[in-house]
Structures are given as C-alpha cells and as structure tokens.
Amino acid sequence: MSRKSRSNDWGFPRWRGYGAAQEAVTVRMCDRHGCDQPGDCPAPKAPNSRERWHFCQPHAAEYNSRWDYFEGLDRAEKAARARSEQAENAGYAEAQHYGWAASGDGSRSADEMRALEVFELESDAEFEDVKRAWRVRAKAVHPDVRPGDAEAAAAFQKYQLAYEVLKAAEDRRSWKG
C-alpha cells in the first residue's frame, strides 16, 4: 500500500520556507528607453509630485546627476521658491538643541571652550594665540611677581589649568593628524 505524502503548504504556521513559493513576481522594468534592467530606483518626475520614474541604478545615477529642482522656473520664481523652502526649513537650523552649546564649530569640547573664555579668546583661536594670552596673563599674576596675594595665586592657578586643558587638546589633535 503506498502512502500519499502531504504538502508542507497547509495550516498555520506555513511549514515551508518563506520565499519558496512558485508564484510569479512582478518586476518593474527601467523606464529608460531600450533598457531591459529592473527599475528598482524610483525618481521624481517633477518637484512635489507623487509620480515617479523607475530606473535601474546606472540610469538613476545619470538622471540624478542632471536633476534640477527648479527646472522650468524663471529667475524670480526660483528665488521665491528657494526663500520659501528656506523659511520652511528654518526651524531645523534654529532648533532648540543648538542653543544648548556655546559658540564653536563642534571641534572643541565644552572644557576647551571654557578654557578659551578664561583667556577671552574666540572659539577658533589658534594654539599660538592661546600661548600668547597665557604668557601675558600668567606673568601679571605669577606668585613670584605678587608674593602673598591670594587673589593673584587663584588667578594664576585658573590660567594654568586652562592652559593645560588647551595644551592637552592640542597634543591630541597633533597625534591624530
């Protein structure tokens, strides 16, 4: 007596592997004339349009290299559109979290920025400017110049600590670069 084998495609969960189905898969072809590659890279037909071209990767790269968002607009319309988009996106540039940090380009730590404030220098000051400011201030309040002056000693320590922070940062940058 022969036994019938049962298909693994019954019930839940599916007992056969996913992707093992034999159904036909619809493949969108590249919209570029004469191309027979799959068009798996959608590209907008016009600004703010839901319509899309579907290109293969080489043709999508070619299309994007010549894409002009302002195509078809005259100079005044381009300027007006650019201003309106900039105004709409201004919230991102002026977001609240930008106000949390002090000035600078992000290449200096908060400790470095505080040390620069001690020397009254800008955030983009070179290390030579730091050395110069440290020498001038440290000479003025050095304990040998002003013996017994507690305020001068505290100021000297503050300048010395700020200089050490900036020197260590400069050494780290020179080791990286």
pLDDT tens profile 79-134: 888 888 777 766 555 554 554 444 555 678 888 889 999 999 988 888 999 999 99
- pLDDT for 109: 82
Tokens describing residue 138: 């440290």
- pLDDT for 53: 86
Q: Are residues 51 and 78 in the same domain?
A: no
- pLDDT for 138: 92
What are the E-state strand segments in the chain?
A: 41-44, 52-55
- Residue 128: give the domain boundaries: 110-176
If one compares 53 and 177, the residue with the highest pLDDT of the two is 53
For residue 158, give the CATH number of its domain.
1.10.287.110
Q: Are residues 120 and 160 in the same domain?
A: yes
Q: How many CB atoms lie within 10 A of CB 88?
A: 9
Number of domains within the chain: 3
pTM over the 0.85 mark: no
| 47-59 mean pLDDT | 85
Residue 24 pLDDT > 80: no
Establish if 12 belongs to a structural domain.
no
Cα 172-175-177 angle, rounded to 5 deg: 105
- pLDDT for 155: 93
Cα 20-23-26 angle, rounded to 5 deg: 115
Residue 160 pLDDT > 80: yes
Establish if 52 belongs to a structural domain.
yes
Q: Are residues 145 and 159 in the same domain?
A: yes
Q: Are residues 63 and 77 in the same domain?
A: no
Residue 145 pLDDT > 80: yes
- pLDDT for 102: 47
- pLDDT for 26: 79
Q: Are residues 32 and 89 in the same domain?
A: no
